[in-house]
């Protein structure tokens, strides 16, 4: 790649962002990559276990720590990462601020584009790293942490490049004042806000962190990445490659630093509250997310949790609906921020081509669809993956006790490939719409609630209130009536929630594609930012215009 | 105007925003307008006095109130405006939300462009209204409230239109999955955030309020405008014209409402804290501005105060510097948010083509320049205008007592045209750089502080710290050394403050031109928003993407 060529490519990428058409840079199917690459990745993963990740920047680090445990093997990975004090991390970032902010935008862009190619070469190791920290299946790990994450990074670089160059760098400004001209030379500079902090989560360590990381970098801000102590490995690979690429281009590696801590001694708040940290990207639970959002003098970008709802009003074929929904509920055992939880059906039932399906009927149809997917030897284990941590299992088992109508209880399930895998098959419960205290909160993990309402109108009102008050990242609706569909779209859009209609087959509400789907709207309590609208990059720098009197 | 033609024009305006070249739509010189228009405006102004402003929307208003006093005549204007309760204002705005948000962006744009032409026809009345509420001279009132304000409004409409249409409205998204295509129909909608509140100030009632007002409107948000009770008239004219234009186009007038209150019974906080208010634009002092910024669940756009600094290191001709600075300090008696206050000079003096000018020398040169401008019968009265309110005079007289080195004391000054005008000629004091408690705060009005520092480096450090801690909207530097100039630019840009270099003649640091100068950076404590960067409009709506499975 060379800069000119990249800029031509960037124009194409920008067109995709504008048109919202399907677009990707790296194939999502592992089979599209040479066998040797996949094998090398697996080998690299195994060689990495029980070692220090010493290709990362580690000068003057305090010690080497790591406490990751594979949800598939339920043993520690034994990988250790260089630990620095918060003070040292900030010092390092301060030391490189000027160099990075004064690197021309074209050069920053070029370096960042090259990091994508470098990370691509490690897709397979990245997949194993993700699998054995998050509990995602190999396929999902490969896709989410590899091509899909890089698509979002590229989208961010593209958006950033064009926003950072949207005004002329220099202009001769001439104002005629009758007898003479007033002439000023002006320059316009996007000044980076400061040091960025990217706080990762355990379930999507790269997909959720790369947009913020690249948005900070393209805008000229050095970044400290603080992954969850239980899911460091994937981001260590990414940071490793970015550091290498920086060094190759004569830039100090410390422009991107990995910050690691222990579960027993977290440093996240200390980092957040450091005055030098001006930008915070956060993915995770609401408690910490709310804390991040209220911090003073910081620009924050949060993706927290919400309650994603499904409304089933009417459809052609109820089996297709049940299968689609079963997949969305089972995929990575409901540990996606986009997974549906609350399924609203009117007591009048679901109108289909084959007559009305009652609420009671749907309980059976849906639980059968879920179990037939889980028990499908070809796809079951790969779909549900593993549960990232014990707390999720404990919480679901505890929560279940509050429900009297258990439609589907978790069953014993052994993944033949990973006998030790931490698995909990989906739980389905049913409630009446009056039981708001039961369904009015998030149950993270494989837990679905069927809610019987009095009418279409009540369903819609409850779903909209839930999005408005508790937040929602997605909403899925099955509706064959175009007036009602329009009503759903308008009502949900008013509470800043997007709607997916009549998904069946290979279209799943959980999936948000880069260059087309805006992930999290930023308009309801599920988060205050969006991958990737103009605000996602523009809030990271400040436009300054200087004026010189022409001598 | 028709929509197509407007769009072609808008493309041209967008090019100006990108290039930052000089651009205006309406001439700033009153002489460019027909005499009859100016005479009609004066007549309209006089007929308006002591009447109800009954062309404004007033259905079911509670009563008619007004307490404006002319700083030139020091008598009440007697104009009364329809008063509504906060509850009623919110109800009205809620009632029209859907109509306005569902008005196509092209139609909204077209209506708003037409309002500019309508307001143009009232430039002269607007000038008298501004003069007799703010104390600005007629010329400044005409320019700031008329053409300059409308330039900024047009800039906002242009930025808004292109941001609101930056993504395709609809796309057929096709992803090949090997044996078949996954096809989704998607739509993308910029959903307005809610009701906007625009809080005006006494000194620039339209110039400072129009950008936020038009940014809310173009994004589909209804707006409640709450001017200062002492400066309602100019915005009443603007709102009157917008309401008329809305009505002509079949849109409910209540999309823009005027909210008036009494000094003794302010409703601003009540409006701010109403949950339906989602957007707040504020211009004014820091105390209330800080309150606005900390409000939860609101998008806020503030322009508060800062301390604007001047550094005089070196120049060709000290007289030119003194004259330029004198004008900037005298213009509207320092009541501009962009007016310089603190003037830093090293004890080593100012290097000029005619030798070094010492700090002591400059005291005299500067005070003479100020008084020769003030006492110039052709321009003095028109430059200093009048002081908007008694508090400013009281505060300056009180503050002066804390300074031991008074370089220039206010003198008696009578504006021959307005014998009763409230006037205070500029005060200049001198301090040492160690006296931070004296110069480390804003003195609103005609008050300048000459600060003697130990070196160039100390001056720069103090100026940067002041901008970073107290905020700054402008910085003016006189420096003939290009290395030092670069150092000033970099250091001040780091604290998000723009620098104007070596202004003389007709270039004044106080003036920020639409389509070129970014007013307030949003990066230091002087405010959190910018006229007009992409954030200024993008933060007012939320992008939502809906997806439909192709049947």
Pick the CATH number of B3-167+194-304+529-541 from 3.90.1170.50, 3.40.605.10, 3.40.50.720, 3.40.50.970: 3.40.605.10
Q: Do A175 and B22 touch (CB under 8 A)?
A: yes
pLDDT (mean) for A530-541: 97
Q: How far is CA B215 from CA A160, A309, B180, B510, in A?
A: 23, 33, 45, 24
Distance (Å) from the alpha carbon of A176 to chain B's nearest alpha carbon: 9
Name residues whose C-beta falls within 8 Å of residue A472's C-beta, 6 or more positions apart in sequence: A306, A307, A308, A309, A463, A466, A495, A497, A524, A526
Answer whether residue B7 shows pLDDT above 90. no
Please name the residue of chain A whose CA is at the shortest distance from the CA of residue B520.
Answer: A544
3-state secondary structure A153-212: HHHHHHHHHHHHCCCCCEEEEEEECCCCEEEEEEEEEEEECCEEEEECCCCCCCCCCHHH
Phi and psi at A24, nearest 5°, equal -155, 155
* Angle, vertex CA A421, rays to CA A418 and CA A422, nearest 5: 170
Contact A207, A520 (CB under 8 A): no
- Out of A186, A521, A538, the one facing B535 most closely (by C-beta) is A538
Residue B412: pLDDT band (50, 70, 90) is confident
Residue B5: pLDDT band (50, 70, 90) is low
Chain A, residues 58-97, CB within 8 A of chain B, namely none
B513 near A CB under 8 A? yes
DSSP A357: E
Per-residue pLDDT, A5: 60
Test the A interface: residue of B30, B175, B531 with most A CBs within 10 Å = B175
A504 near B CB under 8 A? yes
Q: How far apart are CA B117 and CA B26, in angstroms?
A: 9
Q: Do A20 and B521 touch (CB under 8 A)?
A: no
B435 near A CB under 8 A? no
Per-residue pLDDT, B254: 98
Per-residue pLDDT, B551: 62
- Out of B175, B494, B543, the one facing A518 most closely (by C-beta) is B543
A2 SS3 class: coil
B413 near A CB under 8 A? no
Chain B, residues 4-43, CB within 8 A of chain A, namely 17-22
Chain A, residues 473-502, CB within 8 A of chain B, namely 489, 493-494, 496-502
CATH architecture of A3-16+32-168+195-304+529-542: 3-Layer(aba) Sandwich (3.40)
Going edge to edge, which strands form the sheet with A181-192?
A: A170-176, A181-192, A541-549, B500-501, B475-478, B309-312, B342-346, B447-453, B427-432, B405-408
Please name the residue of chain B whose CA is at the shortest distance from the CA of residue A539.
Answer: B535
Test the A interface: residue of B158, B302, B498 with most A CBs within 10 Å = B498
Residue A550: pLDDT band (50, 70, 90) is confident
Alpha-carbon dihedral sign for residues B104, B109, B110, B111: positive
Chain A, residues 191-210, CB within 8 A of chain B, namely 191, 193
The continuous run of DSSP H or E covering B309 comes out as strand B309-312
Distance (Å) from the alpha carbon of B312 to chain A's nearest alpha carbon: 15
Mind listing the pLDDT tens digit for each residue in B313-347? 999 999 999 999 999 999 999 999 999 999 999 99
B167 near A CB under 8 A? yes
> Whole-prediction pTM value?
0.97
- Out of A182, A498, A547, the one facing B500 most closely (by C-beta) is A547
Please name the residue of chain B whose CA is at the shortest distance from the CA of residue A101.
Answer: B494
Give the rounded distance of the alpha carbon of B259 from its chain centre: 19
pLDDT (mean) for B426-432: 98
Q: How far apart are CA B183 and CA B125, in angstroms?
A: 58
Distance (Å) from the alpha carbon of B19 to chain A's nearest alpha carbon: 5
- Out of B19, B173, B175, the one facing A171 most closely (by C-beta) is B19
Answer whether residue A551 shows pLDDT above 70. no
Percent of chain A exceeding pLDDT 90 equals 97
Q: How far apart are CA A275 and CA A277, in angstroms?
A: 5
Phi and psi at B159, nearest 5°, equal -55, -45
Q: How far apart are CA B495 and CA B431, in angstroms?
A: 24
Please name the residue of chain A whose CA is at the shortest distance from the CA of residue B29.
Answer: A177
DSSP letters along B132-163, please? HHH---HHHHHHIIIIIHHHHHHHHHHHHHHH
Exposed/middle/buried for residue A309 (C-beta within 10 Å: 0-12, 13-18, 19+): buried
Q: Do A173 and B21 touch (CB under 8 A)?
A: yes
The CATH T-level fold of domain A309-501 is Aldehyde Dehydrogenase; Chain A, domain 2 (3.40.309)
- Out of A22, A174, A504, the one facing B173 most closely (by C-beta) is A22
Per-residue pLDDT, A26: 92
Name residues whose C-beta falls within 8 Å of residue B490's C-beta, 6 or more positions apart in sequence: none
Mind listing the pLDDT tens digit for each residue in A202-226? 999 999 999 999 999 999 999 999 9
Distance (Å) from the alpha carbon of A468 to chain B's nearest alpha carbon: 12
Distance (Å) from the alpha carbon of A144 to chain B's nearest alpha carbon: 17
Contact B467, B492 (CB under 8 A): yes
Q: How far apart are CA B321 and CA B326, in angstroms?
A: 8
Q: Which of A252, A293, A189, A195 is nearest to A540 (CA)?
A: A195
Could you tell me if the ipTM is greater than 0.95?
Answer: yes
Q: How far apart are CA B518 and CA B539, in angstroms?
A: 17
Percent of chain A exceeding pLDDT 70 equals 99
List, by residue range, all CATH 3.40.605.10 domains of chain A.
3-16+32-168+195-304+529-542
Mind listing the pLDDT tens digit for each residue in A325-361? 999 999 999 999 999 999 999 999 999 999 999 999 9
Mind listing the pLDDT tens digit for each residue in A255-291? 999 999 999 999 999 999 999 999 999 999 999 999 9
**Helix crossing, A105-120 with A210-218: angle to 10°?**
150
Q: Do A530 and B543 touch (CB under 8 A)?
A: yes
A461 near B CB under 8 A? no
Q: Do A549 and B499 touch (CB under 8 A)?
A: no
Please name the residue of chain A whose CA is at the shortest distance from the CA of residue B101.
Answer: A494
List, by residue range, all CATH 3.40.309.10 domains of chain A.
309-501
Residues in chain B within 8 Å Cβ distance of A191: 493-494, 496, 523
Contact B489, B495 (CB under 8 A): no
pLDDT (mean) for B147-155: 97
Residues in chain A within 8 Å Cβ distance of B499: 546-547
Name residues whose C-beta falls within 8 Å of residue B272's C-beta, 6 or more positions apart in sequence: B197, B199, B280, B291, B292, B295, B298
- Out of B171, B182, B542, the one facing A521 most closely (by C-beta) is B542
Residues in chain B within 8 Å Cβ distance of A22: 173-175
Please name the residue of chain A whose CA is at the shortest distance from the CA of residue B18.
Answer: A167
pLDDT (mean) for B217-225: 98
Distance (Å) from the alpha carbon of B547 to chain A's nearest alpha carbon: 5
Answer whether residue A362 shows pLDDT above 50. yes
DSSP letters along A216-250, please? HHHTT--EEEE--TTS-HHHHHHHHHHHHHHHHTT
pLDDT (mean) for B467-495: 98
Alpha-carbon dihedral sign for residues A486, A487, A489, A493: positive
Distance (Å) from the alpha carbon of B351 to chain A's nearest alpha carbon: 17
DSSP A61: -
E strands, A57-157, where? Answer: 63-65, 81-83
Per-residue pLDDT, B3: 47
């Amino acid at each position: 790649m060379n800069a000119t060529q990249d800029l031509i490519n960037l124009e194409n990428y920008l067109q995709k962002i504008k048109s919202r058409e399907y677009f990707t840079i790296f194939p999502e199917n592992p089979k599209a990559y040479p066998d040797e690459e996949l094998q090398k990745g697996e080998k690299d993963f195994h060689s990495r276990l029980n070692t220090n990740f010493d290709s990362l920047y580690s000068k003057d680090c305090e010690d080497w720590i790591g406490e990751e445990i594979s949800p598939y093997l339920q043993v520690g990975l034994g990988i250790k990462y260089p630990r620095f004090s918060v003070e040292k991390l900030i010092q390092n970032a301060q030391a490189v601020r000027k160099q990075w902010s004064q690197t021309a935008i074209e050069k920053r862009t070029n370096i960042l584009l090259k990091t994508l190619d470098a990370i691509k070469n490690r897709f397979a190791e990245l997949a194993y790293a993700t699998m054995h920290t998050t509990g995602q299946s190999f396929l999902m790990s490969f896709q989410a942490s590899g091509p899909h994450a890089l698509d979002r990074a590229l989208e961010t670089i593209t958006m950033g490049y064009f926003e950072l160059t949207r005004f002329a760098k220099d202009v001769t400004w001439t104002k005629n004042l009758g007898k003479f001209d007033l002439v000023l030379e002006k320059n316009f500079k996007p000044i980076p806000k400061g040091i960025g902090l990217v706080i990762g989560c355990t379930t999507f360590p790269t997909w959720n962190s790369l947009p913020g990381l690249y948005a900070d970098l393209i805008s000229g801000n050095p970044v400290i990445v603080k992954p969850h102590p239980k899911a460091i490995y994937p981001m260590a690979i990414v940071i490793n490659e970015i550091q290498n690429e920086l060094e190759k281009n004569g830039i100090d590696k410390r422009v991107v630093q990995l910050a690691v801590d222990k579960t027993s001694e977290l440093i996240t708040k200390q980092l957040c509250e450091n005055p030098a940290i001006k930008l915070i990207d956060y993915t995770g639970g609401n408690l910490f997310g709310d804390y991040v959002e209220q911090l003073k003098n910081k620009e924050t970008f949060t993706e927290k949790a919400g309650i994603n709802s499904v409304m089933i009003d009417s459809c052609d074929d109820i089996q297709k609906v049940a299968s689609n929904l079963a997949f969305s509920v089972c995929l990575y055992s409901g540990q996606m921020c986009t997974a549906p939880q609350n399924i609203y059906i009117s007591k009048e039932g679901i109108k289909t081509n084959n007559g009305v399906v009652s609420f009671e009927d749907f309980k059976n149809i849906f639980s059968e669809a879920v179990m037939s997917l889980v028990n499908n030897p070809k796809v079951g284990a790969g779909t549900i993956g593993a549960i990232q941590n014990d707390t999720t299992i404990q919480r679901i088992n505890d929560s279940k006790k509050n429900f009297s109508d258990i439609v589907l209880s978790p069953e014993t399930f052994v993944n033949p490939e990973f006998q030790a895998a931490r698995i909990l098959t989906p739980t389905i419960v049913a409630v009446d719409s009056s039981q708001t205290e039961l369904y009015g909160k998030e149950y993270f993990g494989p837990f679905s609630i069927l809610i019987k309402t009095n009418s279409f109108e009540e369903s819609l009102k409850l779903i909209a209130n839930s999005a408005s008050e508790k937040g929602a990242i997605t909403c899925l609706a099955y509706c064959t009536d175009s007036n009602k569909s329009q009503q759903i779209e308008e009502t949900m859009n008013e509470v800043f929630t997007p709607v997916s209609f009549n998904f069946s087959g290979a279209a799943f509400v959980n999936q948000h594609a880069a260059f087309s789907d805006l992930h999290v709207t930023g308009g309801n309590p599920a988060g205050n930012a969006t991958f990737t609208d103009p605000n996602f990059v523009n809030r990271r720098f400040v436009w300054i215009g200087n004026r010189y009197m022409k001598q």
